[in-house]
Amino acid sequence: MQILQITDPHLSGHDGGSSRGVDTDSSLRNVLNDAFAHGADYAAVLVTGDLVNDDPQGYVRFKSFVGDLAQPVLCIPGNHDIPATMRHSLARAPFQYCGARSVGGWQFVMLDSHEPGRAGGRLSARELTRLDAALAHSSRHTLVCLHHHPVEVGSQWLDGIGLANAADFWGVIEAHAHVRAVAWGHVHQAFDGERKGVRLFGTPSTCAQFLPRSDRYALDSSPPAYRRFELRDDGRVHSEIQWVDSPVQRQTAAR
């Protein structure tokens, strides 16, 4: 089963909006064109936060990009999102805001780690309870998604604005052996790791990237990107990053 993940498009509410020097409309359009080229057949699309750049009108633009997809578009909020507006704007198919979704032989659990007024994130007691209940309800292989990274990525400034209560999160995850992977956005760079048998995936933005392993905020020259997942019936996960220099130029980093 093929799954597409895009993250951190940072859309504005008007033409020509930019984030960190990148035209976010053109960048997202190029990413989606590349991702769906050559008849790519995804069972679902994951969008892991910061759909907009603090601009509620950006959700209208986001819908114009992906609102006609046949696949479910599973969305979670990031620190630059406005959760109440996002939930209302994405209340109809193909969108799903947070919650859980079964696709094929897998379950996807989408979490809200948005903490008002803060760049870092936190899972409320309610979200942790919901995560535990969703995992207890289904024994399907599970991919858990959130915006903020629940492990350190080796960048001092970014690790200071990750998931504040990561220990609580992992306490729930470790109680359910069928969690196969955790995926997030926020870090604007690629991350591929493993923790106690659970695969860990951080995904670059569809616009600008952060310099990996930098103690201070710094931008990287890497182009926009997206991630492809291949989720197998036996619970194994294969994933690759596609870097998009233009609609026709790509670089692949796979594992």
Taking 90 as the threshold, does the pLDDT of residue 38 lie above it?
A: no
Residue 254's pLDDT is: 45
Q: Cα(233)–Cα(237) distance, rounded to whole angstroms?
A: 9
Q: Cα(223)–Cα(91) distance, rounded to whole angstroms?
A: 31
112-125 pLDDT, tens digit per residue, is 999 999 999 999 99
125-152 pLDDT, tens digit per residue, is 999 999 999 999 999 999 999 999 999 9
Q: Token match 């993250």: residue?
A: 7
> Tokens representing 194?
């493993």
Residue 215's pLDDT is: 95
Domain boundaries of the chain, sorted by first residue:
2-254
Q: Which CATH superfamily is domain 2-254 in?
A: Metallo-dependent phosphatases (3.60.21.10)
Residue 15's pLDDT is: 82
Residue 191 backbone phi and psi in degrees, to 5: -140, 135
Taking 70 as the threshold, does the pLDDT of residue 79 lie above it?
A: yes
* Mean pLDDT of the 204-228 span: 97
Q: Cα(60)–Cα(64) distance, rounded to whole angstroms?
A: 6
Taking 70 as the threshold, does the pLDDT of residue 11 lie above it?
A: yes
pTM over 0.85: yes
Q: Which helix (H) or strand (E) holds 226?
A: strand 225-231
Residue 246's pLDDT is: 58
Position 249 confidence tier, pLDDT thresholds 50, 70, 90:
very low
